[in-house]
Amino acid sequence: MEKNNKPSYFIDTHAHLDMLKNMTPETAVKNSLAENVKYIINPGSSLEGSIKSCQYSNKFEAVYSSVGVHPHDAETFDKRTLSELEKLVKGNKKVIAIGETGFDYYRNLSPKNDQENAFISQIELALKYNLPVIVHDREAHSDTLKILKSCTGSLNAVIHCFSGSTDFALKCLEMGFFISFTGVITFPNAKELVQTVKEVPIERLFLETDAPFLAPQERRGQENYPGFVKYIAAKIADIKGLSVDEVARITSVSARKFFKLN
Ligand SMILES: [Zn+2]
Ligand SMILES: [Zn+2]
């Protein structure tokens, strides 16, 4: 980046503004803009959350929404949920993805079978509207791969809050998918994940806070919000021997293209 030019901006590709407790969405967006975050993608975790996400994206220029039902809530997912999600897609120009959806075998709050059915339905919805899918995968790497493999073709997907091995990351990359890292990479015990960051080409990864969860090490104990995405960028810059500005620029170009933001 040339001197005097405006520095590149960040895109927080995954922040639950609808779940913030200590900050209003207004304050979160305003403070994030001040931290050079130009766009924030608010994924839906439930139907209610997806509706809120659409409200925010209609209200705030910087916010885009993804609509979906988290694997935790997959038990409640039925035909009506699917048609309500579809209505949100059709009725809101700023819905740019489907999700988050996938598997969570760590907490297993919904039966595996329901998680799988909800995941497949949401992938089909994404394919129908040519939207990318935001995938949640916790301790379910092989089942996640199995489902994604069965639905490839034109499917675009990002594995959010990546927590797998380098080997799993490479398999996802091979299938054309993207990988997104949270503040977990800044934690002292994240040695394996740091190794994975090294192996994932910078053009194939996104930044995300997963706010209000997972505040980066520098802000441990605080409520996370998109303004903290800079700590994740700094860690990636450090791991890859790039400047923070390069990380911001390259990841923002990829994210804009992937989510078709304009
Ligand atoms: Zn998630
Ligand atoms: Zn999330």
- pLDDT higher for 3 or 113? 113
Of the ligands numbered here, which is closest to the C-alpha atom of 102?
1
Residues 36-55, mean pLDDT to the nearest whole number: 97
CATH class for domain 10-258? alpha beta
The pairing of strands 178-181 and 205-207 is parallel
Distance 95 CA to ligand 1 centre (A): 18
Q: Give me ligand 2 centre to Cα 208, in Å.
A: 9
pLDDT tops 80 at residue 7? no
Please tell me the distance between residue 13's alpha carbon and the centre of ligand 2 in angstroms: 10
Q: pLDDT digit string (tens) for 8-27?
A: 999 999 999 999 999 999 99
> In which residue are the tokens 């407790």 written?
21
Q: How far is the CA of 147 from the centre of ligand 2 (A)?
A: 20
Q: What share of the chain is helix, strand, coil (3-state, %, to 5)?
A: 50, 15, 35
Name every residue whose Cβ is closer than 8 Å to that of residue 38 and which is 6 or more positions away in sequence: 9, 10, 11, 62, 252
Give me ligand 2 centre to Cα 220, in Å.
Answer: 18
Per-position b or e across 206-227, b if 16+ CB within 10 A of its CB: bbbbbbbebbbeebeeebbbbb
pLDDT digits (tens, 9 = 90+) for 64-120: 999 999 999 999 999 999 999 999 999 999 999 999 999 999 988 899 999 999 999
What is the average per-residue pLDDT within 169-194?
Answer: 96
158 C-alpha to ligand 1 centroid (Å): 11
Residue list, CB under 5 A from ion ligand 1: 100, 136
Whether the CA torsion 46, 48, 51, 53 is positive or negative: it is negative
- If you search the block for the tokens 């409640």, which residue do you land on? 76
